[in-house]
Structure 1
Amino acid sequence: MSATPVNNHDYLWNYREKALEVLEKARLEKALSYEEIAEKLEVSKVWLASAFKGQQYVPAQYTEKLAEILGLSMNVVNVLEEHPYKGNVDPILYRLHEVFDTYGPAIKAIIHEKFSDGNGIMSAIDFSVDVDRVEDPKGDRVVITFNGKFLPYSCKGKYPW
């Protein structure tokens, strides 16, 4: 009997890597952006990209539509209907880590789509962060805003630089 995975990498990439690669390959072959697919599914583009990175549970109503959009069998797309493993720490820090563990690869993918060839990063020097409270009748909301300058990678010298 194997031990329970201790992190998302062990769980996701050993168990689900091939199916996720097939999904991404199909998306690229059809030249569809995450945003285009998200519009067809009527979901958030970041949530969808996060699902493609193995970080979201995706209900069957979306996996069925996604299989049609990408021309894939449900055997491949069904992997998205499984819940990813997530660890824990301090409750607030856990949630912040969870946000980046869950949405980080998706945010990266969206940044690469939005900024031409995506060959760059978001600055953490030319950067600001803000935290606000927004009242909501269903429960107040925490709004965290990251605002970083896009920096293309520098290609100085001979590759690899």
Structure 2
Amino acid sequence: MTKIEMTEAIIAAKITKGTSWAAIAEAGGLSEIFVTSACLGQNSLELDVAVKVTDFLGLDEKVAYALTICPMKAVDVETVSKDPLIYRFFEIAYVYGGSMKEIIHEKFGDGIMSAIDFKLDIDKEEDPKGDRVVVTMNGKFLPYKKW
């Protein structure tokens, strides 16, 4: 089973069951963002977590096994996504990336934020002028080695 076939099976089961990514993640015992990413083929799960997810969705061991395979990340993204929501994150990086880099270097020194030792949370903030999307990225700072 390919990662694409796995993702299609998971999404079909999610729709059939009428469930949410939050409920699927809760069944697996990991974060909503991480489990969703694994289900979309961008991360892998340990077998025990994969079985919990597939049992919750009523899927077989082929899907559970596919969830455990380490993926080739971001191979489906060769250009900037045309999806309006995803494009906005590229736009944020284009417009604010330089400022983010400057401030991170000022506060931490020369280095990067890890995308491996990393957490991402998405929350909803209700606002009478229009609900707000709150995205929190939390990554370990990795200084460049001087040698």
Bin the TM-score by the shorter chain: 0.5 to 0.7
1:19 paired with 2:39, answer: no
Which structure is richer in relative contact order (CA contacts within 8 A, separation 6 or more)? 1
Aligned to 1:84, the other structure's residue is in SS state coil
2:113 corresponds in structure 1 to: 142
CA distance in 2, matches of 1:141, 1:70: 38
Offset, 1:19: 2.4
| 2:61 paired with 1:74 | yes
- What SS class does the counterpart of residue 72 from structure 1 fall into? coil
CA deviation after TM superposition for structure 1 residue 85, in Å: 2.5
Show the counterpart of 1:52: 39
Gapped regions of structure 2 (runs ≥ 5): 121-131, 134-147
1:30 corresponds in structure 2 to 17
Aligned length in residues? 102
Q: 5 Å matches for 1:1-161?
A: 15-86=2-73, 101=74, 120-121=84-85, 122=88, 124=91, 128-129=96-97, 130-131=100-101, 132=104, 142=113
Distance 2:2 2:43 in 1: 15
Amino acid at match of 2:37: S
* Other structure's SS at 1:43 match: coil
| RMSD, aligned CA | 3.8
Q: Deviations over 1:61-107 (max 9, x none)?
A: 11110121101111222111111125xxxxxxxxxxxxxx39x9xxx
Give the partner amino acid of 1:23.
I
Q: TM-score when scaled to structure 2?
A: 0.52
The CA distance in 2 between the partners of 1:51 and 1:16, in whole Å, is 9
Q: Distance in 1 between matches of 2:30 and 2:11?
A: 18
Identical-residue share of aligned pairs (%): 21
Distance (Å, rounded) in 1 between the aligned partners of 2:112 and 2:28? 26
